[in-house]
With several copies, the nearest count.
Chain A
Amino acid sequence: MSASGTNGAAKTNGTAEPSGPRVLTKADFQSDAETRWCPGCGDYAVLAAVQGFLPEVGVPPERTVFVSGIGCAGRFSYYMNTYGVHGIHGRAPALASGLAAARPDLSVWVVSGDGDALSIGGNHLIHALRRDVPLKILLFNNRIYGLTKGQVSPTSERGKVTKSTPFGSPDEPFNPVALALGAGATFVARTIDRDKHHLPAMLRAAVAHPGAALIEIYQNCPVYNDGAFDALTEKDTRDDALVMLEHGQPIRFGADGKHGIVRRADGDLEVAEVADVGENALLVHDAHRTDPSLAFALSQIGELDGGATPIGIFRQSPRASDAAARTAELSAARASFTAADLAKLLHGSNTWSVGASGAGAER
């Protein structure tokens, strides 16, 4: 059986340079490659959201690059009518970091899955976050290996029965938000594939952030892990399960906002009934703190009690950095580096010359 597509080929607009101010539309970001995800896959919703959002940023397709890893999520780059690299498993952050270093003028996105980003690629991810490389990283977390047909992932819950763990996974999963915060991430958010309003809001905030921005996207894999996030999306459960974090707002959720998050006397956070504790006791979310401890504490909600899971921006605290200045300096230096400068460099500090006769060494 054979199949061939045209994913690699560019869809171009016929004209080389746009004339006049260019109005970008969703279509500008849609490649003509046929999408090849399973019917009902959450990846479709994320793709649509990203394509729908990008025109608002104003960076044209030719200055946007999507770098993806291997996995179902990794196919993303083929569907964007931007420049794109579908790399190798786990290495997208490395490829993207090199690209961003060489080309600070581009808008560089990384698309990765939970296996790609957190299993084989874990090291590159935490280092990209530590270095605060200006990448927008979309982590499609379906808590399973999709492309390889259903093995356990580092975000699969303990006890999960998969093809590779027929007697249940023995391991505790990573909490991607906590891991990122532990690595020193300056921007960490979580959202859900299906949420047409929340997802673009997270993208918007990530783009506004000067450094590395990680967005964990809960993504349903109807084939190998269907319904993993149903509690957060289904009408009858989501009110009690979903905690929306909003900077500067008291953290409150549930029907009529009856639950909230409060700080216990010992300092740990917990879910409480507003009726019991009073509105004023509610924790006010502050994503902008330099100290990531509050964000970290919030990341533990949901992990521990299983009941309620926060989405939104956990941390958004730009780090002062001279990276942009360094980069600009290097670009300027390169631009003004001439053959004469090269000659000087080749000569170094210690030369001597040999005359035509071979004699007469001098300094």
Chain B
Amino acid sequence: MSSAAKPIEELERVIVRFAGDSGDGMQLVGGRFTDVTAVLGNDLATLPNFPAEIRAPAGTLAGVSSFQIHFASREILTPGDAPNVLVAMNPAALKANVSALERGATIIANEDAFTTRNLAKAGYETNPLEDGSLEAHVVRRIPMTTLTARAVEGMAEVSTRDGMRAKNMFALGLLCWLYDRPTAVAESWLDKKFAANKPALEANLAALRAGWAFGETTELIDHRYTVATAHDVAPGIYRTVNGTTATALGLVAASERSGLSLVLASYPITPASELLHELARHRSAGVRTIQAEDEIAAAGMALGAAFGGALGVTATSGPGMDLKAETIGLAVMLELPMIVIDVQRAGPSTGMPTKTEQSDLLMAMYGRHGESPLPIVCATTPSQCFDAALEAARIAIRYRTPVILLTDLFLANSSEPWLIPDVTKLPAIDPQLARANGSGTFAPYARNADQARPWAIPGIPGLEHRIGGIEKSQPSGGISYDPENHQLMTNQRKAKVAGIEVAALEVDADPDAELLVIGWGSSYGTLRTAVRRIREGGGAIAHAQFRNLNPLPANTGEILRAYPRVLVAEMNDGQLVKLLRSEFLLDLESYAVTQGRPLLAAEMEREMLSRL
């Protein structure tokens, strides 16, 4: 396929959102468009949005599925706020997404789907393509269904159904043409996917090419765009990953680096289930996954595995965290390594399971009875989930403690390019397992300089010992109800966590900045983008993002005190700000949103501006 004669305009960045019915294959189109964009060397970020229902009635609002991709010739950090182009495969997709568009955005609508029946299902009284309600936008009406049908017409073995299903490939072909991206990667993906189903392969390829060809020939669209390779990107080998995959790979890497085997025990829950699915496939890395009967059992299994010398991991989302609390408390008492991953979603209770939020921080800190401190790590971007998982493992193993790793639904589902690390340069994690000492006594609660106790795993004669959830005397580990000992152990458990070495908080600051914006976890990209825009507008500002939430980096207080105004932005009701206020007694400002969605760059830019 060669590009045609229409003029090509160069853009710095573009946001495209594909939207259709759950059955329309929008996630698939989005994924393929991501592939072709990634190999072009654009920076990119993507965000899928699934319907809450499994399969809501076709054509309804509840059934709309979408996929947004933001790609650019310079570093970008979020999937973008407002799409430049919305591909709407049916009226419901249009209705559910049109409010996200700014004036002047383009809508590419599959006009075949705008039937009276579909309009009614979407709750439209008149056809928006015709009633003038979209006049703020550039609307391209394209009969994709018909054109796809025509493309596969006459193909011997292609069923009408296969033909119809291929209309998403038509859209892909058209968008590839529009943004000047060769379809080779998508084609070879189709080759693999439909290796066993030639007719489907043919239909899809035909549709893809038809979409491209339509772009070249149609008079509806008169010019194309291109986005050049990103040049501010570090050299190396890249792939795209979403947060789920990156977390999984980080855990496997921790297993390899530490020499421990990885045991993940989990109970399905949206959006954490995907991690179970992903790790279950890594049989060749010796990963053991167990779908436990519930979250309590999952935590217990991870902890039992840790007692046996494995890297014990359990992953869940909010409601499951509630259930694991008692076992996490036991892990605090046993002082064994264990990783608890909370892929946060919008709460409370069942809440909005398919929406994102950062509202489990205080639960991670305090969600267990008694004084039971533990380290908390969070991930800032989809690919950084890899590092965060490694960091959680490092802390858990070195300090013999359960660690809570906070990610969220947005990170889990969102993708970005990832500079694949050189594995030989990843830090080794020495588990320093206890060895037989021949001395005749073994004290399971003797502490080292890190305040950590020995990890003595079954199999070693001479190290037999019993531990449990009752307060124990130091260093023998025997049951103790002694008041002073309880005070000592309480202090030591606290000191151990407080003394964990974590990286200093980095500030990205203009020299004369008066406002510091603080975030944690997945708001990283949004905040950096907003900060960049402020700077582009000539403003001076500082930004810092927490990756370690307990303990906080040692320089936190110093940094907070260095700015007259500090704004803490969170996707919750102000949880980090509570911790920071209590710790540093500073009148920090809070911008806290609970709308089940990521913060938006424009919104944060506005908030920052209003405080400059």
Residues of chain A at the chain B interface (Cβ within 8 Å)? 1-18, 31, 33, 36-39, 60-67, 70, 72, 77-78, 80-91, 93-103, 105-106, 115, 119-120, 122-124, 127, 145-149, 151-152, 154, 163-167, 223, 327, 329-335, 337-343, 345-348, 350-363
Known: A12-B464, A124-B293. A330 touches B423 (CB 8 A): no
A33, B478: Cβ atoms under 8 Å?
A: yes
Q: Which of A72, A356, A358 contacts B232 (CB 8 A)?
A: A358
Known: A67-B304, A354-B238. A39 touches B57 (CB 8 A): yes
Interchain CA distance A24-B138 in the complex, whole Å: 55
A339, B423: Cβ atoms under 8 Å?
A: yes
* CB neighbours of B420 from chain A (8 A): 346-347, 351
B231, A359: Cβ atoms under 8 Å?
A: yes
Instruction: Tell me whether B133 is interfacial, beta carbon within 8 Å.
Output: no
A102, B58: Cβ atoms under 8 Å?
A: no
Interchain CA distance A362-B62 in the complex, whole Å: 40
Instruction: Tell me whether B161 is interfacial, beta carbon within 8 Å.
Output: no
Known: A62-B458, A334-B261. A97 touches B185 (CB 8 A): no
A8, B479: Cβ atoms under 8 Å?
A: yes
Instruction: Tell me whether B268 is interfacial, beta carbon within 8 Å.
Output: yes
* CB neighbours of B350 from chain A (8 A): 70, 88
Q: Chain A CB within 10 Å — which of B240, B445, B464, B480 has the most?
A: B464
* CB neighbours of A8 from chain B (8 A): 444-445, 465-468, 472-473, 476-479
Contacts across chains A and B counted by CB atoms under 8 Å: 403
* CB neighbours of B86 from chain A (8 A): none
Q: Which of B256, B304, B440 contacts A97 (CB 8 A)?
A: B304
A353, B236: Cβ atoms under 8 Å?
A: yes
B462, A1: Cβ atoms under 8 Å?
A: no
B463, A9: Cβ atoms under 8 Å?
A: no
Q: Which one, B48-56, B195-203, B540-548, is touching chain A?
A: B48-56
Q: Which one, B77-85, B206-214, B307-315, is touching chain A?
A: B307-315
Q: Chain B CB within 10 Å — which of A16, A85, A335 has the most?
A: A85
A62, B460: Cβ atoms under 8 Å?
A: yes
Question: In whole Å, how far is B513's beta carbon from the nearest beta carbon of chain A?
Answer: 29
Question: In whole Å, how far is B453's beta carbon from the nearest beta carbon of chain A?
Answer: 11
Instruction: Tell me whether B589 is interfacial, beta carbon within 8 Å.
Output: no
B293, A86: Cβ atoms under 8 Å?
A: no
Instruction: Tell me whether B438 is interfacial, beta carbon within 8 Å.
Output: yes
Proximity bits, B410-421, A CB within 8 Å = 1, else 0: 000000000011
Chain B residue nearest to A106 (CB atoms) is B458
* CB neighbours of A94 from chain B (8 A): 292, 296-301, 304
Give the 10 A-B CB pairs with smallest separation, nearest first. A8-B477, A334-B286, A86-B468, A94-B300, A98-B304, A98-B301, A361-B41, A16-B436, A84-B466, A38-B55
Proximity bits, B389-415, A CB within 8 Å = 1, else 0: 000000000000000000000000000
* CB neighbours of A167 from chain B (8 A): 280, 283
Interchain CA distance A242-B388 in the complex, whole Å: 54
Tell me the residues in window 433-482 of chain B with beta carbons closer than 8 Å to chain A beta carbons.
435-445, 458-470, 472-473, 476-482
* CB neighbours of A147 from chain B (8 A): 54
B66, A1: Cβ atoms under 8 Å?
A: yes
